[in-house]
Structure 1
Amino acid sequence: MVLLKSCFSLEPLFCRFFYLFGTFVYRYRWPMVVIPPLLSACFSVGFIWVFDLRVDDPAYVFTPRDARWKRELGTFSRLWPLDENKFIAGKSFETKRFVNILCKAKDGGNVLQPEILDEIDLLNRFISENITVPTTDGRFQLSYQDLCLGYDWKCSANEHIEMFRQMTQVGRVIELTYPKGGNKDTPAYLGTAIGDIKLNKTDGTVQAAKIIQMFFFLKQEPANVRKYSTDFEYAVERFLLHGFESPLIDISFAHYQSIEDGLDENARRFFPNFVTSVIALTIFCIACAFTFRVHNENKQKISIDWIRSKPLVACAGLLTTLFALISSFGLLLLLGIPYNVINTIIPFLIIAVGVDDMFVLNACWSATKEQKL
C-alpha cells in the first residue's frame, strides 16, 4: 500500500478568503456600491497631468532603465562631447536634432549623373537657405545657417554633393573609391554619403550609385534653441511632403522626432478603435448574459429565463474593469509616475481579462443545479 504524503495547497486558503470577503461585501453592500465609484472619481484627477508626465522618447519606451548601451553611450559622450562649433559628423554620439534625406533617381538609375546631382544640389541649397522658422517674439526668421552644427562657425553643407558634381566635370581626376574616397591630401568617407553602389571591377572605384544621403545637423542647446531646431525639422518635413516636386528624383526622409511622431500616431489611431471595441464588447457581453428557455407546453414559445440570466453581472464585470483602469492609472499619475505611451494598449488588454472573468462568473452561475436556484 502506497501512502500519499499530504501536500500544501493554496486553494483552500483562497477559497476561505474569498468566502469571507464575499460575506463582508454582502453585509456592507451599499458602501461597497458607493465607495468604489467615488474612489475612481477621486483618482481620475490624476489624468489632468497625463500630458505633463507623458514620455515618448523611444530610448525610454523600449529599453530597460539600466541597459548596457546607456552606460556605453555615456562613455562615448564623455570622451567625445558635443561641441556645436567643433562638430564633425560621425564623431558625436549626442545629436538629437537632425534631418536625413535620401535621394534616388526616378528611373532607378545612377544618381551620379550631372542632371541628377544638379537637382539634388538645388534641393540642398533650398533647405539650407530658404526654409526658415520664426523666433518666439516673431522678430527674426532663423534658417539652417543660424541653427546648424558646424566647425569654426561654418555649417556643414553636404559638401559630398559638390564633390560628386566636380567629379563628373573632371572625369577620373578625383579618385572615387569606396568607402574611403578622395585622395591622400583630402580623404573623404563615403560610407554614409552614397548607397546601393556598383564598383568598377578593375580598380575598385565607384562606377554608379543609386542613393545619395544628405544630412542637416541642428543645435540642441539651450532649450529655446532646441525648440527652434525642432520647428526647423517640422518645417523641412512640411516642405518635403507638400511643397517639393521634382521630375528627376524621389526622396525619403526622417528626423529625430520621426519615431516619436509614429508612436503618437499609433496612440491616436488606437483610441477610436478602443472606444469601438469597448462598445462591441459591452453589447456582446450583455447579449451572452441572457439565458432562454423553451416552454414544455408550447415548444414554439421562447422566453428569457430571468433566474439564470444575469445581465447585471455582465454590466458589473465591465464597470469594475473600467473603475480599476481609471483608479490605477489615475493613482500612478497622482504619484508622479511617468506615463509611457506604449501603455496605451494596456486598457484593452485589461478589459479583455475583465470580460473573461465576467464570463467565468456567468458560467459558474449557469452551471449551478436548478434545485439550488
Structure 2
Amino acid sequence: MRINWNWALLEKPVGNLCKRYARIVAQYPAPFIILPILLTAALATGLTKLTIFRNVDYLFAPLDARWKYEEEVFHNLWARTDDQFYPGKDVLRRKGLHMIVTAADDGSVLRLEQAQQFMDLLAWVENSTFVYNGTEYGYHDICLIFQNQCYVNSHANFLARIFINGDQDEFKVTYPQFRSTFQSDAIDLTMTLGGVETDPKTEVIKTAKAWLISYQLKQQTPLLNALSNTFETTMGQRIWRKETPTSLLNVYFFHSNTFEEELDEGNKRITPRFILTFIVVISFSIFGTITLKRKGSVVVIDWVTSKPYLAWSGVMATLLAIISAVGLGLHLGILFIDMVTVMPFLIISIGIDDMFLILAAWRSTDREAPVIDRIETAMQHAGVSVTMTSATDALSFFIGAMAPLPA
C-alpha cells in the first residue's frame, strides 16, 4: 500500500482561518478601518518620548562582557574620583579631547614656526570658553587637576619651548625616554611625539612628524559631565571649521563623544533617504498594480483589473504598523537607538511583498464570483504565505532581541 505523506500540516488550518477572517472583514469593513487608525493615533503619542540612546560602550558590548567587570575592579580600587587623576597612570575611560597635530607640509613639527604655532594652539584650547544654559564656562572650570593646577600637557609644553628657544643642543632631548639633568626620573615621550627620527648613536631627537595632546575632563557630577560634553562638542566644531591659530599645522581631533556624534550624523543622512525611499516604494507599488489594455490603436488603463488603491492601502497599513510599534515600544520604556532607523526599510519591504501576494491571489479568483467570495478565496491562498513570512520575520527579530548585544 502506498502512503502519501503530507508535510504541510499548517497550510489547511491557517488557510481556513484566513478565509473566515477575510469574510468577517469583507462583511464589516468599518471597524477594521477605524479602529487601527484610532489605535495608531493613541500609540503614536509615545513618539513624544523619543530620545535616541547612543552610549556606544553599552550598545556594542555584550551585557555580560568580561571587560565591564574588570573595569569596575579598576574603578573601585584606583582613581575613583576626578580628584585622584594622575596623567600617564590613569586607567579609566574619562571625558576628554585628544588631538594629533602635524605640519601642513608634512615636515617636522619641531621647526621654529611650527613649534610656535603649536604653543599658540595649546593656549587657544586652554583659554577657550563655551556657553551652557546661558552661563559661560572655560576649560579651567572642567579640567582635571594635577599637582594643584589644570593638566596642560606639560611634556609637550616643555619640548616645544626647547625648540622655540633653540636650546635643543643644550638639552639634547633623547627619545623614547628623555633623561634631563633637571629631573631624577626619565620622561616618556612616546605619548607626546610621533614619527620621531633620532640620531642613531645618541638617540637625540632630530625631527618629529606629530604631536599628541590630551585634555581630560571632569565627569563626576551630572553638571560636570554635561559641561565636559559641551566643551568637547564645541571644540570639535571649532577645529572642524578651522578656527585654530594654526596655518602651518593640521589638527585632527577625537573626543569621548565622537562615536555618538558619528551615529547621529549617520542618522541624519538616512532620514532624507527614507523619505525618498518611501515615495519610490509607493510609486512602484501603484504603477506595479496598473494593468494596460489596447482599445483600438490606443493603450489605456484597465480600471477594472488595476488596483492602485490596494497598493496605496498596503503601504499605508505598513506605515501605521511602524508608527504603532515604535510608539508602543517608547511607552514601554524600550530604548530607541540609531540602528532602529533601518527598521522601516525592512518592514515596508515585507508589507509590499505581502500586498503583491494578496493581489496575485485576487487575480487568480473567478471574476464572476461575488466580491466577498473572491476576497475569501484570495485570502485563503495568500494568507498562508503572508502568515508564514510574518511569523518567520517576527521570529528572527525575537532571536535578535534575545542576543546579549543591546544594539
Per the TM superposition, whether the score is higher than 0.5 is yes
- Is the contact made by 2:96 and 2:255 (CA closer than 8 Å) also made in structure 1? yes
**CA distance in 2 between partners of 1:137 and 1:7 (Å):** 70
Q: What's the offset of the Cα at 1:50? A: 0.6
Q: Deviations over 1:241-264 (max 9, x none)?
A: 252243311111122222222222
The list of structure 1 runs, each at least 4 consecutive aligned residues, that deviate by more than 4 angstroms after superposition, is 1-8, 134-137, 203-206, 367-373
The SS at the match of 2:195 is strand
Give 1:211's aligned residue.
210
Equivalent of 1:347, from 344, 349, 358?
344
**CA distance in 1 between partners of 2:2 and 2:90 (Å):** 73
Cα 1:144–1:201 change in 2 (3 A) is same
**CA distance in 2 between partners of 1:155 and 1:191 (Å):** 22
**CA distance in 2 between partners of 1:226 and 1:105 (Å):** 33
The SS at the match of 1:243 is coil
Equivalent of 2:102, from 101, 104, 123?
104
> Comparing both chains, which one has the higher relative contact order based on Cα–Cα distances under 8 Å and sequence gaps of 6 or more?
2
Please give the TM-score of this superposition, normalised by the length of structure 2: 0.80
Equivalent of 1:154, from 133, 149, 152?
149
Q: Sequence identity of aligned pairs in percent?
A: 27
Equivalent of 1:144, from 136, 139, 145?
139
**CA distance in 2 between partners of 1:88 and 1:199 (Å):** 29
Q: What's the offset of the Cα at 1:101? A: 1.4
Cα 1:135–1:11 change in 2 (3 A) is closer
- Is the contact made by 1:104 and 1:210 (CA closer than 8 Å) also made in structure 2? yes
Structure 1 segments unaligned to the other structure (5+ residues): none
The SS at the match of 1:337 is coil
Structure 2 segments unaligned to the other structure (5+ residues): 375-407
Q: What's the offset of the Cα at 1:120? A: 0.6
How many equivalent pairs are there?
Answer: 364
Give 1:253's aligned residue.
253
Give 1:63's aligned residue.
61
Deviates more, 1:319-328 or 1:256-265: 256-265
**CA distance in 2 between partners of 1:26 and 1:242 (Å):** 65
Q: What's the offset of the Cα at 1:187? A: 2.1
1:40 aligns with 2:40: yes
Give 1:331's aligned residue.
328
Q: Where does 1:77-88 land on structure 2 (aligned, <5 Å)? A: 77-88=75-86
Residue identity matched to 1:131: S
Residue identity matched to 1:110: S
**CA distance in 1 between partners of 2:256 and 2:319 (Å):** 36
CA RMSD of aligned residues (A): 2.7
Cα 1:304–1:247 change in 2 (3 A) is closer
Q: Where does 1:191-230 land on structure 2 (aligned, <5 Å)? A: 191-204=190-203, 206-230=205-229
- Is the contact made by 1:80 and 1:91 (CA closer than 8 Å) also made in structure 2? no
Deviates more, 1:60-69 or 1:251-260: 60-69
The SS at the match of 2:130 is strand
- Is the contact made by 1:86 and 1:152 (CA closer than 8 Å) also made in structure 2? no
Give 1:269's aligned residue.
269
